[in-house]
Amino acid sequence: MSKELPPTAAPAPAGGNKGLAIGSLVLGILSLCASLGWWCGGPISVIGLILGFLGIKSTGKGMAVAGIILSGIGLLLTIILVVLRLVMGPAIQNVYDQILNQIQP
């Protein structure tokens, strides 16, 4: 009679865990687009940076570094645009009011 072998677990997939690095890269790209709105660009950039720093130890180190760089640029761009809006907001409102005053009799 033949002896049955006990079932064995499947081996872990080779290649490591790249999920955090991929997430960081995707959020880094999105943060560049979303930087036009501080309510969206800021949180996406910060989460992308966190995922990038956590994913740098994975096998997707290059993607994690790219995600960190893109998220950093997105966060910097968000900060610059918020500051510009705060500084230029009253000047733009003044021009808008002057245009409305000239249009209305």
79-93 mean pLDDT: 89
SS3 16: coil
56-64 mean pLDDT: 90
Percent of the chain whose pLDDT exceeds 70: 90
- For residues 27 and 23, give the distance between their C-alpha atoms in angstroms, rounded to a whole number: 6
Query: How distant, in Å, are the alpha carbons of 4, 42, 59, 75 from that of 80?
Result: 68, 11, 33, 9
32-41 mean pLDDT: 87
pLDDT, position 50 = 95
Look over the chain and give the mean of its residue pLDDT values, rounded to a whole number: 87
Between 15 and 74, the more confident residue is: 74
pTM: 0.73
